Amino acid sequence: MKSSQDVVIVGAGIIGSSIARQLSQYQLNITLLDQASDVSCGTTKANSAIIHAGYDAKPQTLQAKYNVQGSLLWPLLAKELAFPYRQLGSLVLSFDEKQDEILKELLNRGQQNGVSGLEIWNQKKILREEPALSSRVHSALYAPSAAIVCPYQAAIALTENAIHNGVTWLPSYPVKKISQDKDGFVINDEIHTRYLINASGVNSDKVAALIGDTSFTISPRRGEYLILDKQQLVNHVLFQTPTPLGKGVLLAPTVDGNVLLGPTAIDCKDPTDTQVTQNGIDLILSQAKTILKDPVPPVISGFAGIRALAGDDFIVGPSQVHPHFFNCAGIGSPGLASSPAIALAIRDYLQEAGLKLIEKPDFDPCRHQRLPIHSLSNRNKDLLIQENPNYGKIVCRCETISEQEIIDAITAELPALTLDGLKRRLRVGMGRCQGGFCTPRLLRLLEQYGHLKPAQINKNEPGSNLIYNETKGARHA
């Protein structure tokens, strides 16, 4: 048997990493594991990146409760863990009188859910605050507490801080078998744990089924997105008025200054079906066109994510099959916003189930992160480069990322050993050239500092290698 743990968390998305970080303040042996080689490789890496205010969820649901609670916890998290968070506020746009009525319903619902500061704006006010919008806009519901974050950077920050506070991170570890004994569970006949938390996203029904919990089934729903180049196009998160068919396409700035359009909502059988379809592209662009006054600016990238739905609400709490097995499942929207509150709820459930929570005297809630070089003053840039000249070698020209920042990410405690891992931490290759210029250099840095042969360097998972071997000339050199 490999080890004996108090708590094992299966799945290192935003939910698993939030729980790991929440529990890392107590004197517990905790392992956070994931089938992928890095954190944040599932739903967390591909969603709308929005901390919803909480007017949308039906009152009395877990979604409403955790959303409103969670959205208030994000500002402190962002401060402690040094990841970007911007409270821009959101607008739900109405384009006719029928939609105006729906906005009033949303306003009421938001007030019932305890969302503060909601206002209805008239056209004049909307166009003053959002000059890029079509003058067809009628009215809007303004929610000041809505915010944007970068969900994968948040999950990385949470995990890094959890590791810093003693949590064990176990990547590339798929859970194939869970057996039970008198005081807990044994995972894959290797890891014993007293408590087990299932935060495995699209696979959470399969993981629950390993202990015989078949109380829910995950229905994957694909959301496709497009990304525009950096620009000041809109100032708030802009939603369309929800219809019975869905919430429609949103338009939002990202924390990095790009503009995000999407998502579509397509039920799919395969939970790994992250294709972007022609229909999806057409739908997103045609809806964006109706919101904006001018033509939609050029697209630089696109992606799709899978929302792991299980009925109409979140499933958070002990399994009916075993009181020490906790499910966090069916976490669709507003899962990101809710994640800090879900982590608190799981902590309380664990305590109720008999886990003793003794605070660590040396718990450090802060992540000590160097600021990106491009954000420093000239004086501080100079000081850093004098210390280490590699901070002055710019590898990613679109995002101004230096060679040393890449080396730091490759050699970190939670290392980036794939091209996508580097992207998620530093944005290398995420700019307008989409890695055309920097990919060759990134391959060499991963080779040198990640101790990988070129053919072992993957885009993300094993089998996604870019290189097969050396060229004829290089082999004979």
Partner 1 sequence: MREFQCDLAIIGSGPAGLACAKSAAEHGVKKIVILERNPQSGGILNQCIHNGFGLSVYKEELTGPEYAYRALQLIQRNFPFHKDPDMVEDGISLFTETMVTYISKVVTDIAKDHQIQALSPKGVLIIHAQKVFLAMGCRERTRFNILTPGTRPAGIFTAGAIQKIINQEGLMPAKEAVIIGSGDIGLIMARRLTLEGAKVKLVSEILPYSSGLTRNIVQCLQDYNIPLRYNTALVDIIGKKRVEAVVVAPVDENRRPDLSRAKTITCDTVVFSVGLTPETDLTKTLGLVIDPATNGYQVDETLQTSLPGFYSGGNVVHVHDLADLVTMESERAGAGLAIPRVPRSAPVYLTHNENLRYIVPQLLRYQSFGPLVLSMRSTRVLPKATLTIISEGQVILKQKREHVTPGEMLVVTLPEVLAQKIGNDLTVNLDEETL
Please give the positions annotated as active site. Answer: 52
Residue 318 binds to partner 1 (criterion: CB under 8 A): no
Q: Which of residues 157-186 bind partner 1 (CB under 8 A)?
A: none
Q: Residue 460 CB, nearest distance to partner 1 (Å)?
A: 8
Residue 344 binds to partner 1 (criterion: CB under 8 A): no
Distance CA 31, CA 9 (A): 6
Closer to partner 1 at the Cβ: 64 or 265?
265
Closer to partner 1 at the Cβ: 181 or 468?
468
- Amino acid symbol at 293: K
Residue 256 binds to partner 1 (criterion: CB under 8 A): no
Q: Which stretch binds partner 1 (CB under 8 A): 135-143, 354-362, 409-417, 438-446?
A: 438-446
Could you give the count of Cα atoms lying within 13 Å of 324 in the half-sphere of its Cβ? 19
Closer to partner 1 at the Cβ: 189 or 387?
387
Beta partners for residue 221, in sequence order = 267, 307
What is the crossing angle of helices 151-164 and 62-81, to 10°? 70
- Amino acid symbol at 246: G
169-to-40, 163, 247, 304, 382 alpha-carbon distances in Å: 13, 7, 36, 27, 35
Residue 288 binds to partner 1 (criterion: CB under 8 A): no
- Count of residues interacting with partner 1 (CB under 8 A): 62
Distance CA 145, CA 65 (A): 15
Q: Residue 296 CB, nearest distance to partner 1 (Å)?
A: 11
**Environment class of 359 (CB within 10 Å of its CB; exposed 0-12, middle 13-18, buried 19+):** exposed
Residue 381 binds to partner 1 (criterion: CB under 8 A): yes
Give 93-146 as a 3 state SS string.
Answer: EECCHHHHHHHHHHHHHHHHHCCCCCEEEEHHHHHHHCCCECCCCCEEEEECCC
Closer to partner 1 at the Cβ: 158 or 407?
407
In the shown chain, the binding pattern of residues 48 to 77 toward partner 1, with x for contact by CB under 8 A and - for none, equals ------------------------------
Q: Residue 210 CB, nearest distance to partner 1 (Å)?
A: 24
End-to-end CA distance of the chain: 48
Residue 275 binds to partner 1 (criterion: CB under 8 A): yes
Residues that bind partner 1 (CB under 8 A): 226-227, 272, 274-278, 280-281, 298-303, 373-374, 378-379, 381-382, 385-386, 389-390, 392-394, 397-398, 400, 402, 432-437, 439-440, 443-444, 454, 458-474, 477
